[in-house]
């Protein structure tokens, strides 16, 4: 259309004859114009097509690379999962049996040795250490093999431990959570919380004389609160700090950025551990 308009205007206009000599006939001008337009148009279209082809090539390359990376990540994850499962199986088949064998042999030795002697104490210490190693290996394996950063999973694990532990005594144990939905704990928080509450549960039995223990979990602004409540009468003359094995608990809290609160009530004591959901680590 534009070219026809130019042609029409050119043929109608009063161009000086000097220009007509230089430019020639309007049809000739139109043809030249058309050729130039076609040439550049075609060139531009070619460039665009070329760019589009390169872009598609690049996209295909990127997609292939992403797929490769996806596959590699999937393969690695599978390898890690298999490795975790193997570690758990190995523990069950090898380490667990070996530790059980040590405990059983030491127990046999204990039966053969007179109580109160120095050797008897050493054998008792071997049994204690073997059982401790067995217990901490189980905690570590659980941490490795489960979604241990999920607060709900950790709460269930500690509840199961509390149930098993207090079943050995005449202590009523129950648990309750006011949390809805899963919350992600900071890395390595779970293992430390396991050690903290195992120690606390143990100390309640040793020192509080409680009949009932309740383990609770609740969510408050940007923090999860785990609490162990007992109805025991801790001896007033005793240092509560020592009862809870608080040196260890305090150290773990400080290292992991947890906040520890002990509430003494008329009907027992409550140990609260607050875990901020965003934590800065020290050490």
Partner 1 sequence: MKKRITIVEDNTVIRETFAVVINNTVAYQVVAHYATCEEALKNLDCDSPDLVLMDIDLPGMNGIDGTIQIKKRCAECIVLIITVLEDGEKVFRSLCAGAGGYIVKNSDTDDIVRNIDEAFNGGAPMSLNIAKMVVASFNRVQNSPLTEREKEVLKGIAEGKSYSKIALDLFISKETVRSHIKNIYKKLEVNNKVAALKIAGSNRWIN
Residues at the interface with partner 1 (CB under 8 A): 91-93, 96-97, 99-101, 103-105, 107-108, 111, 130-131, 134, 138, 156, 159-160, 162-164, 166-175, 212
**Residues 181, 68: Cα–Cα separation, whole Å:** 34
- C-alpha atoms less than 13 angstroms from C-alpha of 120 in its C-beta half-sphere: 7
**Residues 196, 245: Cα–Cα separation, whole Å:** 9
DSSP string, 160-208: HHHHHHHTTTT-EEEEEE---S--BPPTTHHHHHHHHHHHHHHHIIIII
For residue 77, CA distances in Å to 68, 86, 149 come to: 14, 14, 17
Residue closer to partner 1 (CB basis): 51 or 86: 86
Task: Give me the count of residues in the chain.
Answer: 283
In the complex, the smallest distance separating the C-beta of residue 282 from partner 1, rounded to whole angstroms, is 33
**Residues 211, 199: Cα–Cα separation, whole Å:** 18
Q: Which residues contact 263 (CB under 8 A, 6 or more apart)?
A: 269, 270, 272
Rounded (10°) angle between helices 151-166 and 189-203: 20
**Residues 247, 229: Cα–Cα separation, whole Å:** 19
In the complex, the smallest distance separating the C-beta of residue 241 from partner 1, rounded to whole angstroms, is 27
Cross-strand bridge partners of residue 275 = 224
In the complex, the smallest distance separating the C-beta of residue 52 from partner 1, rounded to whole angstroms, is 56
**Residues 3, 37: Cα–Cα separation, whole Å:** 10
């Amino acid at each position: 259309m534009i070219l026809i308009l130019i042609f029409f205007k050119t043929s109608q206009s009063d161009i000086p004859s000097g220009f007509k000599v230089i430019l020639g006939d309007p049809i000739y001008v139109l043809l030249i114009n058309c050729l130039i337009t076609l040439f550049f148009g075609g060139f531009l279209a070619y460039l665009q097509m070329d760019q589009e082809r390169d872009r598609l090539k690049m996209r295909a390359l990127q997609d292939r690379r992403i797929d490769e990376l996806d596959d590699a990540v999937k393969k690695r994850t599978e390898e890690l999962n298999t490795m975790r499962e193997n570690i758990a199986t190995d523990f069950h088949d090898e380490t667990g049996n070996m530790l059980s064998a040590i405990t059983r042999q030491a127990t046999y030795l204990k039966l053969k040795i007179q109580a109160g002697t120095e050797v008897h104490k050493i054998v008792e210490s071997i049994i204690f250490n073997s059982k401790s190693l067995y217990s901490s290996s189980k905690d570590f394996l659980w941490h490795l093999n489960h979604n241990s950063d999920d607060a709900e999973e950790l709460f269930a694990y500690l509840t199961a431990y509390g149930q098993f532990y207090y079943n050995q005594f005449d202590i009523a144990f129950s648990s309750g959570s006011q949390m809805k939905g899963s919350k992600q704990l900071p890395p390595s928080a779970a293992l430390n919380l396991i050690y903290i509450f195992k120690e606390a549960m143990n100390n309640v039995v040793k020192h509080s004389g409680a009949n009932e223990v309740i383990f609770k979990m609740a969510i408050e602004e940007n923090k999860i609160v785990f609490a162990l409540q007992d109805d025991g009468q801790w001896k007033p003359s005793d240092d509560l700090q020592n009862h809870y094995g608080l040196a260890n608990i305090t150290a773990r809290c400080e290292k992991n950025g947890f906040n520890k609160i002990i509430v003494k009530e008329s009907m027992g004591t409550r140990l609260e551990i607050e875990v901020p959901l965003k934590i800065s680590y020290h050490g």
